[in-house]
Structure 1
Amino acid sequence: MRSQVRSVSILLLGITIALILWLYSLALPGYALFDDWPSLDGLSKIQDIHSGLVYVSTGITGPLGRPLSLSTFALQASSWPENMSALLSVNFGVHALATLMTFFLAVGLARLRIPEKTVSSWIGLGVAALWGMSPFLATTHLMLIQRMTSLSALFVLMGLTAFVWAQLLKDRQSWRVRLMLVCGLGFGTLCAALSKENGALLSLFALVILWLWVPPANRLRGAVERSLILLLAVVPALLLVGYLAIRLPGILEHGYGPHRYFSPLERMMGQPVVLLDYLRNLLLPRAAAVSPFTDRWPVPSGWLDPLSTLLAAGFWIALILTALMLRKKAPYLLFGLTFFLVGHLLESSFIGLEIYFAHRNYLPAFGLYFALIFGLFCIAVRYRRLVIIAISSYVLIFMVILFQVTSQWNDALPNARIWLDENPWSQRGAQFLTTQLVRKGDLQGARQVLDAAVEQNPGLALVQIQRTGLCLGQEEEFPRLLNEVISVLHTANYQPLAAYELAKFANADPAHLCPSRDYSALSRMADALLQNPPYAQNKNVRSQLILTKAFAEVETGDIKKANDYFRESFRLSPNLDVLFYGLSLMANAGEYDQVYAFLAEARELSPRSRLERSLWLKRLDDFLEIMRESQRIDSGRLLSVLVCQDVPGSSFLSFLEGRFRGQDQPTPSASAILDSAAVL
C-alpha cells in the first residue's frame, strides 16, 4: 500500500512538472529586458571556441564573474538575440530540474521528523508544487539573465539534498555518505557560487538544517563525517561572514555613492517593509505584482517616516520571537523562517544593491513553503483529507495566477500599463511603457509618460534626455524643453546610462521622433553632464560623453575635431569599436601615419587578461591588414571595405541604434559599451 502511495506521488510530481513547463511555454517567445543586454550582448561576438572562452572568462555581472552561468549562454550564442524562445526554454528547463530537487529535499527533510514515508512523499509533492508554480517567482525564469539565479539555486538545492539524505543513510560510515557530503557541500557550493555569488550561502543553509531541523539522534557522528561537515559547512560559513565583515568598508564605498538614491541606513531601514512585501506576494500572489520593473522602490527617511517602517520591523521581531517560543511544539516555523531570512542575508542586507527584486526569493521561498506544508500535515490524522484538499486548492490558485501571468506575458502594452500602475516610481517601467506607446504610434501618450516620470523625480537624467527625443508635432516648444533639460542635467542624479544614451543618439538619428533635436542639442546636453561632477569624474562615463561630441562633429563636418574627441574617448576607456570608427575617419582623410601610430598605442592599452589580450590583438591585426589593403587600393571609404570584409567592429554603426532603455528590442549600445555600463 505504501509503495502504491509513493508511486502515485511520483506520478503526480511528473504531472506537476509537466504542467509547470506548459504554463511557462505560454510566455514564449518572450523578449529581452533591461538587465539582459549588458551581460549577454557579448554573445554576438562569439565566433569560435577562443572567443567563447573570452566571453565566459571575462564576466562582469559579479565579483566571481559567474562563468558557469555564462557558459550556458555561450552554448546558445547562435540564438542571441533573435531566438528568444530557445534561450528562455533553457530557463524553464532549469526551473523544472530545480522543482524536482525541491521534491527530494522536502521529502528528505520530512523523513527526518516523520517516520511515515508516505506522508513525507505528500509533503514533498506539496512543497514542489507550490514552489514550482509560485507566480511571484515567475520573473526569475521570464527574465533571461536570471538564469544565473535559477542555475545557482539548482546547485544549492542539489547540494542540500545530498546533505540531507546523507543523514538518512543507514550505513553511516559508508563511502556513500562521505561522497554525498563532499559532492553536496563542496562541489555544490563551488558550482553554485560560480553561477551566482549568493550560491555561497549553501553552507549556511546546511547549518540551518543541521542545527534547527536534524534531530540529534539522526546527526552523523563518525569522525570523518563530522570533520567533513566542519570543513565544508562550518568553516565556509565562518569565512563568508568574516569576509563580509572585513570587506564592509569597501562594500559600503563601492555599493553606494552618487549612483544610488539611498544610503546604507535607508536601505537597512527599508528592508523590513521589502521582506514583508515579499512574504505577502509569496503567500498571497497577485498577477499584477509579477513585474520585472521594481526599481526605485521608495526608501524611508526614518523609522517613523513612514510609520510602516517601524511597524514592519516590529512584525518581524514579533514573528521571530513567536517562532522561538514555539520551537519545540512547532519547529518547522523557526526552521522555515530562518531559512527564508538566511536566504536574504546577502541581497537584502547592507550590500548596496537595488532595493527590491522578486527573484531574490527563489531559494528563500523554499523555507516558507516547506514550513507551511509540513505544518499542515502536523494536524491530526483525522483531518488529513481536508489538509490535502486545502493544499490542492491552494496549488490550483497558484496555477491559475501563473497562467494569467505567462499567457499574457507577450501582451507588452497592457502589461506595461499594469506594471507602471503597480510600481509608479519605476523608471524602467515608464521607459518600457513609452517604448510600447511609440510602437503603437501614440507619441503624445509616450511623451506624457516620460513627463510624469520626471515630474515625480526631476533628477532622472536618463529620462530627461529621452524626453527630448519626443517632440513630433510639438516642435515649437522644443527650445524651452531643451533648456529645461540642460538646466537639470547640470545637477541631475548620477545615472551612467544617460551618457551612453547620448552616444547612442549621436551615432544614430537624433531627430527620429523630434526634428528639432539636432547634433548641436546633443552636444549641449553632453556638455551639461560634463559639468556635473559625478559624470565628469568617472572615466568610462566621461569617455561616452566625449564620444557623443565626436559623433556630433562627424555629422557637422569637422573631422579633425572629431578625431581628437575619438582619441580622447578611447584613451579614457579603451574600446576597439570606438577605435575602429575613429581610425576609419582618419583613413578616409588619408592620415595613415596617424592610423598606424594610434594602432600601436592601442596595442599598449590591451587588457591584462591573457585571453582578452589575445582576442584584442587579433582584432587589431585584422584591422591593420585591412588598413594596409585599403591604403594600397586607396579605397577612399574604409567603412565600406570593413563592411564587405565583415571585420569585428565594423558593425559599430548598427550597435548604437535604437530608442529607449527598458525596451524589448536589442538595446542600442555596443556590447563593449554596455559591459562598461554594467560595471558602473
Structure 2
Amino acid sequence: MSNMAGVRFLLAVLAIALLFAVYKQGFSGALYYDDYGNLEGLSKIVDLHSAKQFVFGGFAGPLGRPIALASFALQASGWPENSASLLFVNALIHLANATLLGLLGYMCVRLSLSLPRGKAFWVAFGAALLWAGLPLLASTSLIAIQRMTGLAALFSILGLVGFTWSYRLYASSPVRGLFCQFSLLGLGTLLAMFSKESGALTPLFALAIETLVRRDVLRSPGHWVHKLRFVVLLLALAVFLIYLSPLMRDYFSVSDVRGYSAWERLQIEQVVLWDYLRALFVPMPSLFGPFHDDYPRTVDSLSSAVAAFAWLLALVLGVWLHLSGRSRWLLFAVLWFMFGHLLESTTIQLELYFEHRNYLPMYGVCLALTVAVVSVPMVYRRVAVFSFALFVLLQWAVLLSVTSMWGQPIKAANVWAAEKPASSRAVTHAVFLELSGADENVADLNYQYIRRQRYEYTLSLLDRTIEHCPGCVSVRLQAIGYACKLNRFDEAKARLRGTVSFAAGAEKPRSVVDGLFGLRELIQEGRCGDLSGNDLLALIEALSDSQLFKINHISTRIYFLAAAVAEDLGRASERDAYLLKAEASSPVALPVLQYQLKVAMATNQLEQALKAIDRRYPFVADSKGAMTKAVLDEIKAGVLEEIAQGSTGGTQERDE
C-alpha cells in the first residue's frame, strides 16, 4: 500500500469512527409510536416457533418485511428496555451504508469522469462524508423501527455496487456483463424489498447510474446487449409509472384513512420535496425530529404550480446539459432524487412528511454537489473546496446537536412538543415520558403534591395542542383523563361532551380508540365523578359515523369497547348488538368471539356459543391472525364438553 493509499484509508477509518461517536450520543434515546406498534411481539419470543411467528407476521407493509424483523428478533432479549442496543445496530448499518456509498460513488465517478484514482477517491469520500453527516437522515438510525429503511438501503446499495462493478465485464464479454449486472441487481432488489418495500426502486437507481456511463467505457456501445440493458431499466420505470398512474388508482376519491385524494397528495408532495432540499441546504436543528403529523394537509394552487414548474425546469435543464455534452450530473441528481421518492412521495396514501424517506434519495444530490466542487475552474477551486468543507462541518455540527438532543428523551420531548404544538404525536410522547414511572398508588403526601403538579403541567401541554389542533380527539381524550385525575369532574364532563362535536373530523383512529379504553377504565374505577358510560357511548356513536372509524380493525375495536360500556351500564341486549357489529366488522377477531362465548357461558346459552363459533369457520381459511381452524376446533370442543357435562349432570339428577 502506497503512502497516499494509507492516508486515504486512515481518513476513511477516522471518519467512520467520528460518525459512530456522533451517533452514539443518541443511543440513550426513547422508543417512539411505530416502535411499540411493530415490535411489541418481541416480548413474546421464547423459542424458534414464536420467533418465526414474529418474523413472518409483520404488518408494516404488504410484504411483511421479514428480513428486517429477523434482525430485530435476534435482539428480542430485554425488549423494550434494550432500545440502546437496537439503536447501536442501526448506527452500524448506517456506517456500513456510508462505506458502501463511498465505494459506489468512486465507481460512478470513474464511469463518468476521466479522473485519476486519487482524485476520484476524494470526490467519493467527500460525497459519503456529506451524506453520512446529514441531520436530515438522523431519524433513520435513531428511531428503532426505521432499521427497515437502513437495512433496505444496505441491500439496495450492495445490488448497485454489483451492478456498477459489472460494467467492467462488458469489455471482454457483453453477455456475461449483462448477466452479472442483472443477477446482482436483482438479488439486491429482492433482499431490499423484503426489508422494506421501497427497495423495489433499486433498478431505478441503476437507471440513474446508466446516465453517467461514458461511451468509451464500453466496447461496442451500440451492441444489442447495451440496448437491452437500457430497455429493461426503462421498463422497470414504466412499471412504476403505470402503477402510480390514474390507470391503476382513483386520483380524485378522498381516502377514508388520510382524508385527501391521491391528486391532492401529489400536489402537496411537490412542495414537500422542496422542503426536504431546504432542510439539506439550510440545516436548522428545529427542522429535525420524529414528529411531522402537523404538516399542512392542503397547499395553495400557486405554490403547487411553482413547485411543479421548478421540478420540470430542473429535469429539462439536466437533460439539456446531458445531451449537449456539458455535464451528466444535474440529470443524475434529479433522477436519483425523484426515483427515490417515487413510491413514498407521490400518490400512495401514506402520511405526508417523513425525514427517513430521504435516506437514499439524498445521496445523488450529495455526489453531484461534490463533483460540482471539483469541476469549478482552477482559479476558484480553493474557494469552492473550502466552502464545501465548511458546509460539511455545518452538517456534522447540526447532526451532533440533533443526536445529543435525541439522547435526552425528556428534554427532547418537551422541546418537540413546544416547537410543534399542533402535533398530537409530539404532545402524546411528551406526556408519556413525563409520567413514565409515576406510581399513582403511592400515598405519601409530598409525592401526591408532586404528582398533582405533574398532572397540571401535563394538562397544560395537552391544552396547548388542543388550541392549535381543535380536531385532535385523541389529545382531547387524554385531557379528559387528566381532568378526572385532578378531580375536576365538571370540567371533565364538559370536555367530553364538547369532544362529540369534533368526532366527525377525528384523525388517528387507533390513538382515539386507545384513549377511549383508558377513559372507560377511569369511569369504571369511579375516578371521574358522575361522568358515566352514557357520556362515553354518545361519543362512541358519534365516532362510529366517521369514515376513518369504519376501517374494519378500528370499527371492531370501537364496537367491542361499546359492548363493554353497555355491559357496565347493565344493558345486555345493547351489549350483544354491539358485539354483533364488531363481529361483522372483523369475523376473525378472536377477542370478540371470546367475549361472545363468555356472555353465552355466563347465561347458559351454549347453543348460541356454538352458533357464534360456526359463523367463523368460513372466514378462517384466509386468516393470518390468532383465529385459525385449529383454534376454532379447540374452542368448539370445549363448548361441546360443557354441553355434555351439563347433559350428564341433568341425567344424574333425574336418576337420584
The Cα of 1:100 is off from its aligned counterpart by 1.4
Q: Are 1:499 and 1:545, in contact at CA under 8 Å, matched by a contact in 2?
A: no
- Residue in structure 1 matched with residue 124 of structure 2 by the alignment: 124
- Residue in structure 2 matched with residue 522 of structure 1 by the alignment: 536
Residue 133 in 1 paired to residue 137 in 2?
A: no
CA gap of 1:608–1:547, structure 2 versus 1, over 3 A, is same
- Residue in structure 2 matched with residue 269 of structure 1 by the alignment: 267
Q: Are 2:621 and 2:629, in contact at CA under 8 Å, matched by a contact in 1?
A: no
Tell which has more relative contact order, 1 or 2 (C-alpha 8 A, sep 6+).
Answer: 1
CA gap of 1:571–1:431, structure 2 versus 1, over 3 A, is same
- Residue in structure 1 matched with residue 652 of structure 2 by the alignment: none
Question: Aligned partners of 1:58 and 1:503: how far apart in 2?
Answer: 27
After TM superposition, the structure 1 = structure 2 runs for residues 220-619 of structure 1, keeping only pairs within 5 Å, are: 221=220, 225-226=225-226, 229=229, 233-245=233-245, 248-250=248-250, 253=253, 256-304=254-302, 308-327=303-322, 328-380=325-377, 389-438=386-435, 441-471=453-483, 472-489=486-503, 491-493=504-506, 495-497=508-510, 500-502=513-515, 504-505=517-518, 508-510=521-523, 515-516=528-529, 517-530=531-544, 532-534=545-547, 537-556=550-569, 562=575, 565-573=578-586, 574-584=588-598, 586-587=600-601, 594-608=608-622, 612=624, 616-619=628-631
The Cα of 1:214 is off from its aligned counterpart by 0.9
Q: Are 1:543 and 1:572, in contact at CA under 8 Å, matched by a contact in 2?
A: yes
Residue 71 in 1 paired to residue 70 in 2?
A: yes
The Cα of 1:250 is off from its aligned counterpart by 4.8
Question: Aligned partners of 1:502 and 1:607: how far apart in 2?
Answer: 33
The Cα of 1:420 is off from its aligned counterpart by 3.7
The Cα of 1:474 is off from its aligned counterpart by 2.8
CA gap of 1:409–1:618, structure 2 versus 1, over 3 A, is farther
Question: Aligned partners of 1:82 and 1:46: how far apart in 2?
Answer: 15
- Residue in structure 1 matched with residue 653 of structure 2 by the alignment: none
String of CA shifts for 1:267-290, please: whole Å, max 9, x gaps: 333233312211121123222211
The Cα of 1:521 is off from its aligned counterpart by 3.0
The Cα of 1:632 is off from its aligned counterpart by 11
SS in 2 for 1:606: helix
Q: Which amino acid aligns with 1:268?
A: L
Q: Which amino acid aligns with 1:371?
A: A
Question: Aligned partners of 1:465 and 1:224: how far apart in 2?
Answer: 65
Q: Are 1:294 and 1:357, in contact at CA under 8 Å, matched by a contact in 2?
A: yes
> What is the TM-score normalised by the length of structure 1?
0.81
The Cα of 1:325 is off from its aligned counterpart by 4.9
CA gap of 1:126–1:216, structure 2 versus 1, over 3 A, is same
| CA RMSD, 1 decimal | 3.5
CA gap of 1:164–1:463, structure 2 versus 1, over 3 A, is same
String of CA shifts for 1:634-673, please: whole Å, max 9, x gaps: 9xxxxxxxxxxxxxxxxxxxxxxxxxxxxxxxxxxxxxxx
The range that moved more, 330-339 or 511-520, is 511-520
CA gap of 1:620–1:299, structure 2 versus 1, over 3 A, is closer
The Cα of 1:321 is off from its aligned counterpart by 4.7
Question: Aligned partners of 2:423 and 2:361: how far apart in 1?
Answer: 25
CA gap of 1:436–1:38, structure 2 versus 1, over 3 A, is closer
String of CA shifts for 1:32-59, please: whole Å, max 9, x gaps: 2122333333444444444444444443
The range that moved more, 144-153 or 512-521, is 512-521
Q: Are 1:465 and 1:498, in contact at CA under 8 Å, matched by a contact in 2?
A: no
Q: Are 2:473 and 2:507, in contact at CA under 8 Å, matched by a contact in 1?
A: yes
Residue 91 in 1 paired to residue 90 in 2?
A: yes
Q: Which amino acid aligns with 2:461?
A: V
The Cα of 1:587 is off from its aligned counterpart by 4.2
Question: Aligned partners of 1:234 and 1:320: how far apart in 2?
Answer: 17
Question: Aligned partners of 1:522 and 1:542: how far apart in 2?
Answer: 16
CA gap of 1:187–1:30, structure 2 versus 1, over 3 A, is same
Q: Which amino acid aligns with 1:428?
A: R
Question: Aligned partners of 1:234 and 1:457: how far apart in 2?
Answer: 45
- Residue in structure 1 matched with residue 651 of structure 2 by the alignment: none
Question: Aligned partners of 1:543 and 1:148: how far apart in 2?
Answer: 29
Q: Are 2:155 and 2:191, in contact at CA under 8 Å, matched by a contact in 1?
A: yes
The range that moved more, 564-573 or 7-16, is 564-573
String of CA shifts for 1:287-337, please: whole Å, max 9, x gaps: 221111111311445324xxx545544544454454445443343223212
Q: Structure 2 unaligned segments of length 5 or more: list them.
A: 437-450, 647-656
String of CA shifts for 1:64-105, please: whole Å, max 9, x gaps: 333332332334344433322232222222212211110111
SS in 2 for 1:470: helix
Look at both structures and tell me which one has the larger radius of gyration over its CA atoms: 2
Question: Aligned partners of 2:73 and 2:461: how far apart in 1?
Answer: 37
String of CA shifts for 1:507-538, please: whole Å, max 9, x gaps: 644578962444343222212223x2425644
SS in 2 for 1:431: helix
The Cα of 1:132 is off from its aligned counterpart by 1.3
Question: Aligned partners of 1:613 and 1:438: how far apart in 2?
Answer: 33
String of CA shifts for 1:410-447, please: whole Å, max 9, x gaps: 42333234324444432322322343455575323333
Q: Are 1:333 and 1:371, in contact at CA under 8 Å, matched by a contact in 2?
A: yes
CA gap of 1:415–1:36, structure 2 versus 1, over 3 A, is same
The range that moved more, 515-524 or 277-286, is 515-524
The Cα of 1:571 is off from its aligned counterpart by 4.1
Question: Aligned partners of 1:553 and 1:242: how far apart in 2?
Answer: 49
Question: Aligned partners of 1:97 and 1:187: how far apart in 2?
Answer: 18
Question: Aligned partners of 1:568 and 1:266: how far apart in 2?
Answer: 33
Question: Aligned partners of 1:232 and 1:54: how far apart in 2?
Answer: 37
Identity of aligned residues (%): 30
Q: Are 1:6 and 1:121, in contact at CA under 8 Å, matched by a contact in 2?
A: no
Q: Which amino acid aligns with 1:523?
A: L
Q: Are 2:255 and 2:349, in contact at CA under 8 Å, matched by a contact in 1?
A: no
String of CA shifts for 1:580-623, please: whole Å, max 9, x gaps: 355345545665554455344444432515xx379734555666
Q: Which amino acid aligns with 2:361?
A: P
Q: Are 1:97 and 1:154, in contact at CA under 8 Å, matched by a contact in 2?
A: yes
> What is the TM-score normalised by the length of structure 2?
0.84
Q: Which amino acid aligns with 2:396?
A: M
Q: Which amino acid aligns with 1:199?
A: G
Q: Are 2:135 and 2:402, in contact at CA under 8 Å, matched by a contact in 1?
A: yes
String of CA shifts for 1:466-502, please: whole Å, max 9, x gaps: 332221243232332222112322x324543255225
Pairs aligned (count): 623
- Residue in structure 1 matched with residue 446 of structure 2 by the alignment: none
SS in 2 for 1:408: helix
CA gap of 1:422–1:506, structure 2 versus 1, over 3 A, is closer
Q: Are 1:523 and 1:548, in contact at CA under 8 Å, matched by a contact in 2?
A: no
CA gap of 1:413–1:397, structure 2 versus 1, over 3 A, is same
Q: Are 2:29 and 2:409, in contact at CA under 8 Å, matched by a contact in 1?
A: no
